[in-house]
Structure 1
Amino acid sequence: MARVIPFQDHALARLRERLGAAEEANQDLIAFARGHSGAVAAIHEAVLAAMEADSVDDLLHVVTQEWPLILGIDAVALALVVGDKAFRADCNGVHNVEKQLLLRSIEQVNGVAMRTVERGHTLFGPACDLIRAEAIIRIDCEPPLPVGLIALGQRSEQTLDGHHGSELLMFLGRSLAAIIRRWLVDPTD
């Protein structure tokens, strides 16, 4: 005598499992989209704040003091080579740095470098011991205008979204470079 094997219960359980996985993937996608949208809005707000700066000193204040709040990060430092001098600005003010060391750091970054770290980049100054995730963004201007780096840091380790995050950070770096060019080039030339 033949025995009937009930496939219906097994098939139903399998369908429920696949539906649960699809719903979880959908929720992950929605969370990513919301996070990405928030990141885009924060980057745009940071650029607008920099564009509204009234002077170079005000621009340095916006970048080092306001950007951490706008971007939801813990530290921002900006380092530039201007002529034969180099400096670094952070929440503690403006400090001279060795030009050759900064140029070497700039050469090591091709656009954006995002990474988790045991200790942050030296551009963060005393805060470097607290940084566990960082994004280093290259600032390129045509000679004789400045070149440099923006360092964005977090105290907590972050899962870094390489492609989309780097595009947003490249926009931030290019925008800051354009603002710097505007401040340093006489528009009547």
Structure 2
Amino acid sequence: MFDFFQDEAPWQEPLAAGAVILRRFAQYDVDALYRELIRVAEQAPFVHRVTPGGFTMSVAMTGCGAAQWVSGREGYLSQSQHVALSPLLLHFAQSAATAAGYPHFIPDSCLINRYAPDSKMTLHQDKNERSLSHPIVSVSLGLPAVFLFGGLSRSDKTAKVLLEHGDVVVWGGASRLCFHGISPLKPGIHPLTGPYRFNLTFRKAL
């Protein structure tokens, strides 16, 4: 059984140039963030996308805001999203970005991933946004997971970092196009999210 935090103080953990982990940053907002993702999922249910290679992804996805990411035989694209990015989500993402040194970040989209046991995210770059001058803000809720953070080439050495409930990772600048992913999720039960890990990723897409 995992020992989930209660009242540990947040702190910053450098990850790379332009990248930082804000440990426990969301600890006082986790309930509200979880309610928001449930609201989004009720309007836009989670789906398992198909990769350009024809494989069904183990991670289920939904999201809100101006654009969402879809995949298929034609590749990875963005499309309009009918679910609004709420003021609560916008404010939280801006607060996290400011704490990480990106005070001018104004996201327009939030991608929500749901991880079940054994689901994973292979190494990839976030590069479909119109401008790469804006950072990525990634929030972890629920079961802990091993976050993989590499370099600008897929073959670069990859750091393995445990992310727990309430942790936030922000990367931009020199690290904006670093490859990253999630190792297969280990089984567990979280008091808030049950058998799942959720990841909310905020971007300026358009």
Task: Give the TM-score normalised by structure 2.
Answer: 0.28
Task: Give the TM-score normalised by structure 1.
Answer: 0.30
Give 1 or 2: higher helix fraction: 1
Give the greater-gyration-radius structure (CA): 1
Q: Which has the higher contact order (CA 8 A, sep 6+)?
A: 2
